[in-house]
Amino acid sequence: PQQHPPPPPPPHGRAEPAGVAVRPGGQVTVECDEGYRLTTNSSQVAICLDSYVYDYPRAECEPEPRCPPYKPPADGAASPAGRTLRVGDQVSVTCRPGFHLSRTSSPIATCTGWAYDFPTPRCEPNPVCP
């Protein structure tokens, strides 16, 4: 029986089984390298058809969305600080003594893709008696 060579792995990815010819009905699994994901028009599995072509001839890997390091508020801090974060990662925001988060700010900011759900927190001075 005739076999089909495996599709080339995408940039920033690999195809398994690697370098092995595939018979009709056989499949190749594509995985992306760390920090990359399959594009929405790619499939993780390509099946060799009876016509000796793959049903998904090309898979593409793209960078995973990441949020830049979170900018802490003036008179406050953010933790973790100075790190690029993945989707779903959270940052805790606090204010230094004598300050509190404004009503429009949140003590937690979540990375939602390339940005945060609460990107600009504000620390306001605590009220004091005159």
At 7-58, the pLDDT tens digits run 778 899 998 888 778 888 888 888 999 989 999 888 888 888 888 788 876 7
Judgement on whether residues 121 and 70 belong to the same structural domain of the protein: yes
In a domain, 113, yes or no: yes
Judgement on whether residues 81 and 47 belong to the same structural domain of the protein: no
Judgement on whether residues 53 and 92 belong to the same structural domain of the protein: no
| CA atoms of 51 and 55, how far apart (whole Å) | 10
In a domain, 4, yes or no: no
Which pLDDT score is estimated for 16? 87
| Best CA proximity match to 104, nearest among 116, 119, 89 | 119
Number of compact structural domains in the chain = 2
Which pLDDT score is estimated for 46? 86
| CA atoms of 14 and 4, how far apart (whole Å) | 17
**Domain assignment of residue 118, given as a range:** 66-125
pTM: 0.64
pLDDT per residue as tens digits for the range 68-81: 999 999 999 999 99
Judgement on whether residues 98 and 115 belong to the same structural domain of the protein: yes
